[in-house]
Amino acid sequence: MLNSASALVILALGAVMVAIFLHLGKQNAKNARLPPGPKPHWLNGTPIPAKAPWRYFYDQSLKYGPLVTFWIGRDPAIVCNDVETATFFMEKNGRDTADRPKVMEVFSNGKRTLLVGYNERWRRLRKGLHNPLQPNAARDLRPMQEKGAREVILDILDTPLDFQSHIQTYAATLVVHMAYGRQDRARYSDPDIQKVITASERIAVFLKPGSFRIQQFPWLRHVPGYLSQFRKWADEELNLFRKQFFEVKVKVDAKKRVEPCFATYLMAHQQEYQLNDDDVAYLLGSVFAAGSDTTSSALNICVMAAAINPEAQKRVQAELDSTVGSDHVPTFDDLDDLPVLKAFISETFRWRPVSAGGFQHRTTSELIYKDYVVPAGTIITGNHWGIHRDESYYGPNVEDFDIDRWLTPDGQTKSNMKFFQYGFGRRVCPGQHVANNSVLMNAALLLWSFDIGKTIGPDGKPIDIDTYAFTNTANIHPLPFKATFTPRSQHLAELIKESHA
């Protein structure tokens, strides 16, 4: 016979099991009107592939429809895979989807603006980012962008095999000038830049769904010692960003000459925006990390697209030759009305979006879409890979690179189409105007200067470029690939150097 202690244990276990089944029953009733999706594991949720989850999300949308439910542990996560659903949730209802999952705040100790929840603090941080990155302010960076783009051409002429590194150097130089007022050329091998890259890689891995157990089981944050690695990373990141900011602050406090930059702007408005020194340091560091990361990736994707699409490349070059001429190095003044070039860039953004899987948002109100109910507190994401393959919006053959999808029959830019490279609603990237200018100037100059193509193998045949070979991070980068750069003018170096003087 059972003793009284054993009986109590059995009764307690029975009560726990009943509570679990009742909870699961309530969950099932609550989730009955969620969008469809693959069947999850009862505890771990949906087994999401570690590699290229954005492609998996899109593939599932072909089976279940554009709005798909996945599970992170016992919590639903909704993924939008077409323009209609992304626009409905992220823009039309942007106020109700501007929040972030609470678990994100364990990374960077909640200091990165990208990860901060939708609250008063986020609005203050966002205001600090927003004003100095508006279109008029972005125009002030154009001379620096022209100078940097010409340096890329000279670097490629010197060492064409290192083109990816040259593009990364351009992006790093621009953002350290913009953020900290530095006038020297930033080398990608600089130790501080490498530390920023490491921090960006960590966060890029963390942002992938299910990459850390704490995403599936948020209660792990209360387990002693579990967050020690995150806190170590956060301390390293904060010390790095403090160091970079205080180098400027010391000069300003000593009344020394400092080039006008984002740092001097934030210091002048620090009280107005209610920012402490660590807030400013993180805003500057985040601008540097995000700006160099996305710009270099977008430009290397442009090179990839040109190398495998010679006909599209020739059309852009014909437009540049007729508008700019072959003896005049392009400047921003020449690039206002170049619909074919802009179609090429837009198609690059659509074909291989840098932020392939998008970033997780969190609903703060219940939202109803058609027959589906998305409860408050649900993770929701716009999957850029899937959205940019919406045939109802972008037309057929979405895996093909086709610049005509952006052009009217008479060759003008379609006014009713856009890409979603920079996110949605209240969370849209505030640096998009600077980034667009960088991509426009560099793409124009690269295609004006060179015929870009595939390398030729020992058998005399072109070596294919794997256009699906990217880093497995939130912002994707092409893995190293080879391309050829044939100068379109015998006097290219002289033309660039003369305009560069």
Please report, in range form, the residues annotated as the binding site: 429
- What is the number of alpha carbons within 13 Å of residue 118 lying toward its C-beta? 18
Q: How far apart are CA 289 and CA 212, in angstroms?
A: 22
Sorting pLDDT into bands at 50, 70 and 90, what band is 21? very low
Give the residue-averaged pLDDT of 162-185.
93
Angle between helices 277-308 and 163-180 (to 10 degrees): 150
- What is the number of alpha carbons within 13 Å of residue 481 lying toward its C-beta? 27
Q: How far apart are CA 329 and CA 150, in angstroms?
A: 9
Please, what's the b/e burial string for 395-428 (b: 16 or more CB within 10 A of its CB; e: otherwise)?
Answer: eeebeebbbebbbeeeeeeeeebebbbbbbbbbe
Sorting pLDDT into bands at 50, 70 and 90, what band is 35? very high
358 exposed, middle or buried (CB, 10 Å; 0-12, 13-18, 19+)? buried
Q: Average pLDDT, whole number, for the chain?
A: 89
Tokens describing residue 425: 């609603």
Q: How far apart are CA 395 and CA 188, in angstroms?
A: 39
Give the residue-averaged pLDDT of 468-490.
94
Tokens describing residue 268: 């002048």
> What letter represents residue 390's amino acid?
D
Q: How far apart are CA 375 and CA 360, in angstroms?
A: 15
Give the residue-averaged pLDDT of 402-418.
95
Decide the pairing of beta strands 379-382 and 360-362. Answer: antiparallel
Please report, in range form, the residues annotated as the binding site for heme: 429
Residue 495 above 60 pLDDT? yes
Give the residue-averaged pLDDT of 340-362.
96
Residue 1 above 70 pLDDT? no
Tokens describing residue 247: 């180098």
Sorting pLDDT into bands at 50, 70 and 90, what band is 213? confident
> Running DSSP on this structure, what letter comes out for residue 261?
-
CA angle, 269 then 107 then 297, to 5°: 80
N-to-C CA span, the chain: 97
Stated pTM of the model: 0.90
Contact at 8 Å (CB) between 436 and 332?
no
User: What pLDDT digit, counting tens, does each position of 228-258 carry?
Assistant: 888 888 889 999 999 999 999 999 988 888 8
Higher pLDDT, 131 or 414: 414
What confidence score (pLDDT) does residue 209 get?
Answer: 65
Contact at 8 Å (CB) between 416 and 446?
no
Q: With helix as H, strand as E and coil as C, how does 85-123 read?
A: HHHHHHHHCHHHHCECCHHHHHHHHHCCHHHCCCCHHHH
Contact at 8 Å (CB) between 449 and 153?
yes
Give the residue-averaged pLDDT of 84-96.
97
Q: How far apart are CA 51 and CA 33, in angstroms?
A: 30
What confidence score (pLDDT) does residue 31 get?
Answer: 60
Tokens describing residue 333: 């003044």
Tokens describing residue 248: 């400027």
Percent of the chain surpassing pLDDT 90? 68
Sorting pLDDT into bands at 50, 70 and 90, what band is 346? very high
Q: How far apart are CA 173 and CA 167, in angstroms?
A: 10
DSSP run (H or E) holding 80: strand 75-80
274: left (phi over 0), alpha (psi -120 to 50) or beta: left
Domains located in the chain, CATH noted: 66-500 (1.10.630.10)
437-440 contacts, C-beta under 8 A, 24 or more apart: 437/138, 437/141, 437/142, 437/145, 437/332, 438/145, 438/170, 438/171, 438/174, 438/295, 438/299, 439/295, 439/298, 439/299, 439/302, 439/345, 440/332, 440/335, 440/341, 440/342, 440/345
> Running DSSP on this structure, what letter comes out for residue 460?
S
